[in-house]
Structure 1
Amino acid sequence: MAAESMSLLGLEKTSLRQQALAALRRAITTGELAPGTHLVETELSEMLQISRGTLREAMRELQQEGLISAGARGRLSVRHLDAKEIRDIFSVRAALESLAARELCALEDRASVIKELRAAVDEMAAAAEDGLEGRIEADLNFHRTMCRLTGNETLLHSWRSLEGNIRMSIMFAGLERAVQNMDVKRHSDIVDALETGDEAKATETIGAHMEGAASVLVG
């Protein structure tokens, strides 16, 4: 891992663990730390200008998120997913988000929900002019918002536990294929289906969305 190529420098002296966590997560998501990269504590702590203890705390959380994994002798590296794992992740996502769709369709008044989801789609459109990181965050925010608006905390927690895996699936695919899954129209179609209140249509739309996304990512 070449220290001179890294931009993980100069953290503020407050909430160092959270800042280190955010910086490392961003580096992994954008490919600055590529899948398979061994994470050397001495190098990272120097680049981030934090203690190795603080770094270990951040790396433990990244491991829980599924962004890094332990290999031989506990050596940590950026996780690499294979095609089967990606399809499995998106199958679980389809199940969770289909549940979200059913719960949202069951609401008597969906107006506020639809308004917030359309705002999330607008954020995706605005992020299309940004770099990959902004587009990833806007895409994740849409799907997270859909789960959050159900008011089902267990559902939201289950979805959030997949976020690290979702980020890694993007890195598996590479920029060109990953961006295809951030198409605004495909997400607007989900909102349109939810607005009808037709549970079958909404779940079918989400199922097709996830199946198509997985297929794009694994090529």
Structure 2
Amino acid sequence: MIARAVEEDPTVSGQALSSLPRSTTLRERALVALRTAITTGLYRPGDHLGEVEIAEHLSVSRGTVREALRHLQQEGLVTAGARGMLRVSQLTPTETRELFQVREALEGLAIAQIIASPRRKDAAEALRKALKKLQDAFESGADLATRVEADLGFHLLLCELSGNSMLLKTWRQLEGPMRVVIMSAAGERRDVAMAATAHEPIADAIARGDAAAAQEILHAHMALAIEQMGIEREDARDTA
């Protein structure tokens, strides 16, 4: 599948490698190139990742590719299937819903801790700056990868501002699967969920110190994301 990805955008893997400092190891360089190909949608959920093919196109050894793929498995971007064949992770509708539920729990805790903090107003201002970046990404016609980065950047900042290192670490473990889900969702519906206007009420509630409202808004935001990204319930789909 890497051949197809390179045909669609032959500069991606090369840019990912060339942008790294020369001191970076080959494994790290291959890891960045593969992660970029997956999180920008050049590899799609379910795509097979062959060591030989990847090694050839990245001009590295199979062992280097194997180490990079093993790391991506730990990030949740790659899954081993039948006979150990590696593929880009493909979440079921149920797993995707669970992913958003866990995100909501983590970000809800982050909101509660921010509001309880004496730095609440500073945090709200920082979140508004992140919203401006998200809005600019949409208004400037930035590519999908940039818009996704700005969207997740807001949620990442929310977790960082909580001051809870374990919360942040747990959220970051979900980041890879989140990117795959978002990148593979339908375009216009996905943009509705990622828009700055969908996030602004969260920052406003934090600024007011209204914890109950902030939690309700976050819940509605996650429900909107699930709906707009076209995630169906498996049981509903089976009986349709």
Map of 2:237 onto structure 1 = none
Residue in structure 2 matching 1:202, options 210, 214, 231: 214
Corresponding residue SS for 1:97:
helix
Q: TM-score, normalised by structure 2?
A: 0.85
Deviates more, 1:105-114 or 1:132-141: 105-114
Q: Is the 8 A contact 2:72 2:78 kept in 1?
A: yes
User: 1:97 offset after TM fit, Å?
Assistant: 0.5
Q: State the partner residue of 2:94.
A: 84
> Which ranges in structure 2 are unaligned for 5 or more consecutive residues?
233-240
Matching residue's letter, 1:139: D
Q: Distance in 1 between matches of 2:137 and 2:57?
A: 29
2:3 corresponds to = 3
**CA spacing shift, 1:177–1:49, aligned 2, 3 Å:** farther
| Cα 1:144–1:77 shift into 2, 3 Å | same
Check the 8 A contact 2:81/2:87 in 1, yes or no.
yes
1:44 and 2:49 correspond: no
Map 1:125-144 to 2 at 5 A. 125-128=135-138, 129-144=141-156
Q: In angstroms, what is the RMSD of aligned CA positions? A: 1.7
- Within a 5 Å distance, the mapping from 1:91-106 to structure 2 comes to 91-106=101-116
Which residue identity does 1:103 align to in structure 2?
A: Q
Q: Measure, in 2, the Cα distance between the counterparts of 1:98 and 1:73.
A: 40
Q: 1:68 to 1:4 in 2, by over 3 A?
A: closer
The residue type equivalent to 1:209 in the other structure is H
Structure 1: which 5+ residue stretches go unaligned?
Answer: none
Would the alpha carbon gap of residues 4 and 69 (structure 1) be closer, same or farther in structure 2, given more than 3 Å must change?
closer
CA distance in 1, matches of 2:116, 2:89: 38
Structure 1 counterpart of 2:29, from 16, 19, 42 = 19
State the 1:139 CA deviation.
0.9
- The yes-or-no answer on 1:173 pairing with 2:185 is yes
In structure 1, C-alpha distance between the alignment counterparts of 2:77 and 2:219, rounded to whole Å: 25
Aligned residues: percent identity?
46
Contact 2:41 2:180 in 1 (8 A): no
Q: How many residues align?
A: 219
Cα distance between partner residues in 1 of 2:227 and 2:56: 40
- Counterpart Cα distance in 2 of 1:102 and 1:156: 14
Distance in 1 of aligned mates of 2:86 and 2:228: 29
Conservation of the 8 A alpha-carbon contact between 1:91 and 1:211: no
Aligned residue type for 1:48: L
